[in-house]
Amino acid sequence: MKFGIDRLLAEPDLKSALEGKRVALVAHPASVTADLNHSLDALIDAGVNITSAFGPQHGLKGDKQDNMVETVDETDPVYGIPVFSLYGEVRRPTGQMMSSADIFLFDLQDLGCRIYTFATTLLYILEEAQKYGKTVWVLDRPNPAGRPVEGTLLEAGFESFVGAGPMPMRHGLTMGEMGHWFIRHFGLDVDYQVVTMHDWQPESPSQNWAGWGWPEDRIWINPSPNAASLNMARAYAGTVMLEGATLSEGRGTTRPLEILFGAPDVDAKAVLAKMQEIAPEWMAGCALRDCWFEPTFHKHNGHLCNALMIHAEGRFYDHEAFRPWRMQALAFKAIRNLYPDYDLWRGTDFKYEYTDGALAIDIINGGPALREWVDNSTATPADLDALASPGEAQWRKDVADILLY
């Protein structure tokens, strides 16, 4: 089992293509080799001429905690190279930034979810590489959520930094594959290469940690501060929707984005019972456990919250049955049924990922369909399936020929 960075360092034919070139690295804390050396150190130690580095949202160091907490440009204190922020004054690399290298190595661990901003960062780099005649290599890494696809397709007009194009929430691609889709969908003409993984089988129990989605010989490293486990990565395509709700997603605790909700004024056991009444099939593939927490920061800071914890792990996890997007929608629906007047959604005064005048829940989902389904007292699970299933099927068909594994 080898990831892209390990192949690049080990295979002379790959590394020789970088000789005589100025090379930039796009990285974060999970950009490490099999020996846990950071890719920046490993590449420089291997003699690659790294002339600049780029950090995505949360920064190269991964130290920025929340959305819209920006990182500034800096100079690396060890290597003296510029470290440019792609989540600060700009999110799209400038011409000056692009002039710092000839080849851009993109080595970001993703979560397999459209809203995780690293996908949009890849698109922006590809577009600017086309503009300035640069080369982009993706050093590929696994999608820890695997191949399953889930969610409505992003609607035209809802593009944002968390919605690069008409894809579902849970897209099932690696970043290398996503680059191919971007190039085809947006008609880009760019020098692009994927340094593929060797022997990664995304749906083979014998090849993946805990049965599915992650190689057994790799440990989990947070790609961002709140991506603390494989369990979070699996649940994220659902739990990220809490960022558009008044309910806590668990920020300010040790297990953020691994819960269906947390709130001081919601009865978790009652919500669980209502979910089982409405659509028990959407709760498959995991275990749900009611629990309590008191956030030390963020929503409901200092208040005791009742919550439902997701365990998509161990003997409770069924990769094929687990559907986090539908399960999160079901939790919202159950809360709406139990508390019809609950102030569930953050308002348009809450600015989400640089958007204006839109509800965060709609930006997150790439349209209003899910929110409208939750708020419609007569809408059924079959209605949401009818909204999502055609797009899911179309996406699977559209990307079938770009899958690399």
**What are 307's strand-pairing partners?**
262, 291
Task: Tabulate helix, strand, coil % of the chain (nearest 5).
Answer: 35, 15, 50
**In angstroms, rounded to a whole number, what is the distance separating the alpha carbons of residues 149 and 350?**
29
Residue corresponding to tokens 């809360």 = 335
* 172/239 same-domain check: no
7 membership: H or E segment, kind and range? helix 4-10
* 156/54 same-domain check: yes
CATH code for the domain in which residue 310 is found? 3.90.1150.140
| pTM tops 0.75 | yes
* 121/186 same-domain check: yes
One-letter identity of residue 20: G
Ranges assigned E (strand) in 50-125: 50-55, 74-75, 82-85, 103-106
**In angstroms, rounded to a whole number, what is the distance separating the alpha carbons of residues 158 and 118?**
18
Q: SS3 for 88? A: coil
Spatial CA neighbour of 36 closest among 280, 217, 268, 187: 217
**What are 2's strand-pairing partners?**
198
* 215/328 same-domain check: no
DSSP 8-class letter at 244: G
* 208/82 same-domain check: yes
Total tally of structural domains belonging to the chain: 2
CATH code for the domain in which residue 36 is found? 3.40.50.12170
One digit per residue, the tens of pLDDT, for the chain of length 405 reads 899 999 999 999 999 999 999 999 999 999 999 999 999 999 999 999 999 999 999 989 877 766 667 889 999 999 999 999 999 999 999 999 999 999 999 999 999 999 999 999 999 999 999 999 999 999 999 999 999 999 999 999 999 999 999 999 999 999 999 999 999 999 999 999 999 999 888 876 555 554 556 787 789 999 999 999 999 999 999 999 999 999 999 999 999 999 999 999 999 999 999 999 999 999 999 999 999 999 999 999 999 999 999 999 989 999 999 999 999 999 999 999 999 999 999 999 998 988 888 999 999 999 999 999 999 999 999 999 999 999 999 999 999 999 999
Provide the residue range defining the domain that includes 39: 4-222+396-402
**In angstroms, rounded to a whole number, what is the distance separating the alpha carbons of residues 85 and 179?**
21
